[in-house]
Chains A and B, each alone.
Chain A
Amino acid sequence: MAQITLKNLAHSYSATPTSDADYALKQMDHVWQDGGAYALLGSSGCGKTTLLNIISGLLRPSQGRVLFGDRDVTDSETAERNIAQVFQFPVVYDTMTVRENLAFPLRNRGMDPAYIKARVAAIAQTIGMEATLDRKARGLTADAKQKISLGRGMVREDVNAILFDEPLTVIDPHMKWELRTQLKQLHREFGHTMIYVTHDQTEALTFADKVVVMYDGRVVQMGTPEELFETPAHTFVGYFIGSPGMNLLNAAVVGNVAHLQGVDVALGAAYAPQTGRTQIGIRPEYCALSATEGLPITIRRVEDVGRHRIIRGEVAGQVVNVIAAEGAAIGADQTRVRFEPARINVYADDWRVQGGAV
């Protein structure tokens, strides 16, 4: 096991990249702590899988180095890196039994048969597949196959990290929850570094201690689920995490006041004058309808999702969502929306601006 360091890493699928847009991964420095449970979150095509394949060695980065501990593995083969990877679609060797599948990575490395036998038995118990050890892998369900893929990764005791590439995509919803819980438990028990790629925020937030959000080939924020929720570093994080995402409104920010449509919105902190596009961001959870104060809102639709209601509206032509408690009355006189000042974040050109004391 080792800490994984990415130094000046960048990757382009084109042989002669000319502009920034040619890079699937923009230059980045990143450290994955040994034993951490990370989620790599982002929309499709943002470079998550590219980054994962670079770590596992299936792809060689166009520039920069990959370090495992102090060892430079940029040019090492996948097999030398001692990485396990679980793919989006379950990969099992169809014609082998479950037992042979689990033993395969060890047999290829020429391990002692007695050792292999003991390891396979231990892993089968860990992933709960002792009963099906002698069945052919072909006829098993998708979640069982995915467990085998995981088991094949864990069977080697010296794996540096286990990488998951959207592993629950083809799993039934009720099995997803169970597998996720199992993963979390395995992490606690064995302490492997785990990097979990997903575009599902629930998966990311429940699995990981640290969530890494990627957008357009860049890591835009790494933080705990709470940090991502309260202080998104980039408008994409605000928009991508949360259901619905953060409300973003163009506004002029002066000191601790934002001017919007001739109405002043109080902010929780003071800000230096900003250049470029300035926006204020507020989570729907921290908005409330009001009859007397706040910004005028046009309500388009009210969705009742069971535990609360989502009010979809517009403020000065920009979408604003409000989450209201299930019992709260929504009257015709409530034509304004109020924001909690302390929960408002300010963004200049999509990046969060740190505010000072009022």
Chain B
Amino acid sequence: MEKTQNNKAWFLVLPVLIVVAFSAVIPLMTVVNYSVNDTFGQNDFFWNGLGWFEEMISSDRMHAALGRQVLFSAIILAIEVPLGIFVALNMPKKGFWASFCLVLMALPLLIPFNVVGTIWQIFCRPDIGLLGRGLTNIGIDYNYTNDALDAWITIIVMDVWHWTSLVALLCYAGLQSIPQAYYQAAKIDQASRWSVFRYIELPKMSGVLLIAVLLRFMDSFMIYTEPFVLTGGGPGNSTTFLSIDLVKMAVGQFDLGPAAAFSIMYFLVILLVSWVFYTVMTTLDAQETK
């Protein structure tokens, strides 16, 4: 049958295109514009080519921030994913306590990011905070404002507190969708608890785990508000992650060119890692099906 060529339907996409253009593409293009121009003031811009990119790529300051960022995301994933699975496995499956746990687990997710930062900032203060004061009283030298390691531990604990729920809830949903017959069959096959986890629960959770890991990676890689409120990037630069550094450069020092070049690279790194991640996971999945 001859297909009628009619491309008028494309016009229906136009409204979305316009909205996306104004909300994402045009702002992004101004960033691109800044990244290839330089100025000495008076709104007078001149072409700088890839200069800012070259400068940023070899900048020690950026390397250090990137290193801290990668370390942070790696630690977060290494703690939150297994912990989330563990919590999900041990949550009640039905009845009052199941609903109770779900609500309890969802609470940290509902708190605005800057409030989370403030809560922990106060909670950990060695002079008035419950945790900080408590630790100091039992003789542990703890002060997140002047000890880099303490600051890191505090931020990681805060993030684990804030986001493990997400992983746990996703895993819980995955677990709930496993038909009872699987557990019964495993019982009949005399499978150990570990085998049940390894061969039934983990494979059935792999879909939601992929989403959970992706979400947690992207979120932790872009983290800004909580550490900004809690430590402000300090002590020194020890908790200055990529986005904190970026804001310092763009808003604090008003170095728009380097900041623009840097944010484009930052964006590309996240895009690349997420893409690699997704591709690897889905090909693994496809291979297993074969």
A interface, CB within 8 angstroms of B: 53, 56, 58, 77-79, 83-85, 87-89, 91, 93-96, 104-105, 108-109, 135-136, 138-139, 149, 152-153
Of listed B181, B190, B200, B203, residue having the most chain A CB within 10 A: B190
Measured in the bound complex, the distance between the Cα atoms of B285 and A139 in whole Å is 11
A136 touches B199 (CB 8 A): no
Other-chain contact of A108, B179, B192, B204, B288 (Cβ < 8 Å): B192
Asked if residues B181 and A79 are in contact (CB atoms below 8 Å), the reply is no
Residues in A with CB closer than 8 Å to B272 are none
Inter-chain contact A78/B187, CB cutoff 8 Å: yes
> B146: CB under 8 A from chain A?
no
Pairwise interchain contact A89-B199, C-beta atoms closer than 8 A = no
Q: In the complex the two chains form, is B289's CB within 8 Å of A149's CB?
A: no
Instruction: Compute how far the CA of A83 lies from the CA of B184 in the bound complex, rounded to whole angstroms.
Output: 12
> Can you offer 26 A-B residue contacts whose CB atoms are under 8 A?
A53-B184, A56-B184, A58-B184, A78-B187, A79-B190, A85-B185, A87-B185, A89-B179, A91-B181, A91-B182, A93-B199, A93-B203, A95-B199, A95-B203, A95-B288, A96-B199, A104-B189, A104-B199, A108-B190, A108-B191, A109-B190, A135-B290, A136-B289, A138-B289, A139-B290, A153-B188
Residues in chain B near residue A109, CB distance under 8 A: 190
CB–CB A79/B188 < 8 A: yes
Any chain A CB within 8 A of the CB of B195? Answer: yes
CB distance from B177 to the nearest CB of A (A): 13
Q: Given A96-B199, A108-B195, verify A139-B188 contact (CB < 8 Å).
A: no
Q: How far is the CA of A284 from the CA of B230 in the complex (A)?
A: 83
Instruction: Report A-chain residues with C-beta under 8 Å of the C-beta of B179.
Output: 89, 91
Beyond A87-B184, A136-B288, A136-B289, whether A105 also contacts B203 by CB under 8 A is no
Write out the residue numbers on chain A whose beta carbons fall within 8 Å of the beta carbon of B190: 79, 105, 108-109
Contact across chains for B188 and A84 when beta carbons are under 8 A apart: yes
Q: How many A-B residue pairs have CB under 8 A?
A: 62
**B interface majority secondary structure:** helix
Contact B189 A105 (CB under 8 A): yes
Which residues of the other chain, A, contact B188 by a CB distance below 8 angstroms?
A: 56, 78-79, 83-85, 105, 153
- Residues of chain B within 8 A (CB-CB) of A78 are 184, 187-188
Taking the closest CB of chain B, its distance from the CB of A48, in whole angstroms, is 15
Minimum C-beta distance from B199 to chain A (A):
4
Question: Which residues of chain B have C-beta atoms less than 8 A from A53's C-beta?
Answer: 184
Output the nearest chain B residue to A88 by Cβ-Cβ distance. B181
Q: Is the interface of A mostly helix, strand, loop or mixed?
A: mixed
The answer on a CB contact under 8 Å between B290 and A91 is no
Shortest beta-carbon distance from A84 to chain B in Å? 7
Of all chain B residues, the one with the shortest Cβ separation from A105 is B189
Known: A104-B189, A108-B192. A87 touches B203 (CB 8 A): no
- Residues from chain A with Cβ under 8 Å of B184 in the complex: 53, 56, 58, 78, 85, 87
B207 nearest CB across to chain A (Å): 11
Q: B191: nearest residue on chain A (CB-CB)?
A: A108
Most buried by B among A79, A89, A109: A79
Cβ of A149 and Cβ of B199 under 8 Å apart? Answer: no
Further pairs besides A91-B181, A138-B288: 15, Cβ < 8 Å: A58-B187, A79-B188, A79-B190, A85-B185, A91-B185, A93-B199, A93-B203, A94-B288, A95-B288, A104-B191, A104-B199, A108-B192, A139-B289, A139-B290, A152-B185
User: How many Å from the CB of B93 to the closest CB on chain A?
Assistant: 16
Say how far B178's CB is from chain A's closest CB, in angstroms: 10
Instruction: Kindly provide the distance from the CB of A152 to the nearest chain B CB, expressed in whole angstroms.
Output: 6
Of chain A, the residue at the smallest CB distance from B182 is A91
What residues of B have a CB within 8 angstroms of the CB of A152 in the complex?
A: 185, 189
Closest to A155 in B: B189
Contacts of B182 in A (CB 8 A): 91
Residues from chain B with a CB closer than 8 A to the CB of A85 are: 184-185, 188
Q: Which of B179, B181, B200 has the largest count of A CB atoms less than 10 A from its CB?
A: B181
CB neighbours of A136 from chain B (8 A): 288-290
Chain B, Cβ-Cβ closest to A94:
B203
* Interchain CA distance A53-B203 in the complex, whole Å: 26
Interfacial residues of chain B within 158-208, with CB under 8 A of chain A in the complex:
179, 181-182, 184-185, 187-192, 195, 199-200, 203-204
Instruction: Please give the distance in Å from A54's CB to the nearest CB on chain B.
Output: 13
Q: How far is the CA of A6 from the CA of B3 in the complex (A)?
A: 69
Q: How far is the CB of A143 from chain B (nearest CB, A)?
A: 17
Q: How far is the CA of A104 from the CA of B189 in the complex (A)?
A: 7
B-side contacts of A138, CB under 8 Å: 288-289
B189 touches A108 (CB 8 A): yes
Q: Mark B63-100, 1 if CB is under 8 A from A, else 0.
A: 00000000000000000000000000000000000000
In the complex, which residues of chain B have a beta carbon less than 8 angstroms from the beta carbon of A105? 188-190
In the bound complex, CA of A94 to CA of B289 (Å): 9
**Judging by beta carbons under 8 Å apart, are B200 and A93 in contact?**
yes
| Identity of the chain A residue whose Cβ is nearest the Cβ of B289 in the assembled complex | A139
Contact of A87 among B181, B191, B200, B290 (CB under 8 A): B181
Residues of B within 8 A of A104 (CB): 189, 191, 199
Q: Give Cα distance in the complex from A104 to B185, angstroms.
A: 11
Q: Is the CB of B289 within 8 A of A79?
A: no
